[in-house]
Amino acid sequence: MNLSEYARYDGLGLAALVRAGEVSPEELARAAFRAMDAVNDALNAIVGRVDPPASAAPFEPGAVFAGVPFVIKDLWHGWSGVECSEASRLGAGIVATEDSVLAARFRRAGLVAVGRGNTCELGLSGQTDPIVYGAARNPWDPSLAPGASSGGSAAAVAAGVVPLAHGNDGGGSIRMPAAYCGLVGLKPSRGRNPLGPPTFGDGAHPVVAHHVMSRSVRDNAAALDVSSGPAGGDFVPLARAQCPFLEEVSREPAGLRIALCTRINGASEPDPTCVAAVRSAAALCESLGHEVEEATPDVGYQDIIDVCMDFYALSVVSSVEAMARAAGRRPGPDTLEAPSLSTYEMGRRMSGSRIVRRMEQLASISRVMGDFMRRFDVVITPATSMMPPEVGRYSASHYEAGDLSYWAEEGETYTFLPLFSVSGQPAMSLPLHWSEAGLPVGVQIAGAIGDEAVLYRLAGQLERAAPWSERRPGVFAG
């Protein structure tokens, strides 16, 4: 299989070829490695190859993603036998010793890991620019960032290395890279996909979700079909959907009540290009028979950020201490970037009363959004509040120990994303707009908690009305 043919298919398309006996999983892995070789010098998206036989697991001949190459993010991936460093010198060389529930489900569905996607240290930054690996770059313009913290995975999918890739999202880390790289990226509802057992720590479980970024809506839906459903010990388990999400993609949604939101109370004004993108998408929704009304939830941006920041600080404490034990190293300036070390130290000082306060804020925001969603089926917002910044603009190397200003500074790029992490609602970025310079501009759609189905119905309709599958970035393997 040549690269042009390989990169033309989405994951379900490649799996259909495998099931028909037209191509083998081994041939697909070889094609993925050739694609990796063709683009990775320009993008630094993949930070380690994974030997496919070692990463593969037995799957049924009819598996949904039979033999499809897959990139796993180098953060909390839980893929047994594969290094998971969290892009940190502290975690270098640590190998996952057991599959997480999610990894086991992905394996059984036929996905075959071929590489680890670049990420930022501990998933903390809005740029995929770790000291240990160096910066990842955007396939649409390599001088620009691909977003974070799933930036390496997103760049690999956009450049045709794999049709879909793993990510995790605790404040926008799937949706921002999807928006910057022209992909479909869903953060599922709280409790939709299992989290455990984690590789390192569980501190951020109220706001973090795992899923994938893909080039097609149907791949994204099929991946949620195979990964979702409760597992023992889930923080908030959601029952499996009664109808497969893949089937929802082809269903025409009835007239939806859509809230158009172009600002978050207390946040800075978004880039006009991002606003133009969401207004264009809203107009498209109206042309498809949906009712659109401008509305802003009664939630303050600072409250949202306080909840995310403090839960992430707790996560950093548990991750850092677990890595230190596993690696026999000590957390300090020689093993952690300055913002990571500062966040770790802040988390260690955090009081129990402060943690309780953040849980109360999370519950309050979730209730406000629950009331808001009684009026609307879907909320549509810009996915990001800024266009992709230049590589290195928010690099961790700019900050000194004890300086936590990076949280506010790089947070200006994605002010519309953390709300739905805190509220637990499903939210998806779609590549519905392109700038005058030819860059993708993501648009975010969000539904009520537990209602990914409405998002897949609307996303499928929008993909048919304004298809993006033929668009290709300047750096592309095929």
Per-position DSSP letters for 243-274, written without gaps between them = S-HHHHHTSPPP--EEEE----BTSPPPPHHH
Q: Is the pLDDT of residue 311 over 70?
A: yes
Task: Indicate if 149 belongs to the active site.
Answer: yes
Q: Is the pLDDT of residue 357 over 90?
A: yes
Over range 424-442, report the average pLDDT: 97
Q: Which of 88, 100, 173, 340 is catalytic?
A: 173
Name the pTM for this structure. 0.97
Q: Which of 55, 100, 125, 149 is catalytic?
A: 149
More confident residue, 3 or 205: 3
* Cis, peptide link before residue 426, omega less than 30° from 0: no
Backbone φ and ψ for 219, nearest 5 degrees, come out as -60, -40
pLDDT class for 411, splitting at 50, 70, 90?
confident
Q: Where are the domains of the chain?
A: 3-465
Quick: pLDDT tens for 87-106.
999 999 999 888 999 999 99
Average pLDDT, whole number, for the chain? 93
The tokens describing 366, both together, are 């979730």
Q: Is the pLDDT of residue 390 over 90?
A: yes
Q: Is the pLDDT of residue 203 over 60?
A: no
Task: Indicate if 73 belongs to the active site.
Answer: yes
pLDDT at 423: 98
* CA 441/CA 274 separation, integer angstroms: 7
* CA 411/CA 392 separation, integer angstroms: 15
Q: Is the pLDDT of residue 85 over 70?
A: yes
- Pair 153, 69: CB distance under 8 Å: no
H helix runs in 9-62, sequence order: 11-19, 25-43, 52-55
pLDDT at 402: 74
Q: Is the pLDDT of residue 232 over 80?
A: no
**By C-alpha distance, which of 425, 438, 423 is closest to 388?**
438
Over range 169-197, report the average pLDDT: 94
Quick: pLDDT tens for 12-63.
999 999 999 999 999 999 999 999 999 999 999 999 999 887 666 677 778 9
Running DSSP on this structure, what letter comes out for residue 240? P
Quick: pLDDT tens for 104-127.
999 999 999 999 999 999 998 888
pLDDT class for 198, splitting at 50, 70, 90?
low
Strand order in the sheet with 112-117: 46-49, 112-117, 69-73, 164-169, 209-214, 184-187, 427-434, 440-447, 378-382, 257-260, 291-294
Least confident range of 125-139, 188-202, 307-321: 188-202
Quick: pLDDT tens for 434-453.
999 999 999 999 999 999 99
pLDDT at 412: 81
3-465 CATH fold: Amidase signature (AS) enzymes (3.90.1300)
pLDDT at 283: 98
pLDDT class for 74, splitting at 50, 70, 90?
very high
Report the C-alpha dihedral over residues 166, 171, 175, 181, rounded to 10 degrees. -90
pLDDT class for 199, splitting at 50, 70, 90?
low
**By C-alpha distance, which of 326, 341, 340, 338 is closest to 93?**
326
Q: Which of 55, 73, 189, 228 is catalytic?
A: 73
Over range 182-198, report the average pLDDT: 89
pLDDT at 315: 87
pLDDT at 186: 98
Quick: pLDDT tens for 264-275.
999 999 999 999
- Pair 121, 336: CB distance under 8 Å: yes
If residue 209 lies in a helix (H) or strand (E), which one and from where to where?
Answer: strand 209-214
Task: Indicate if 187 belongs to the active site.
Answer: no
pLDDT at 93: 94
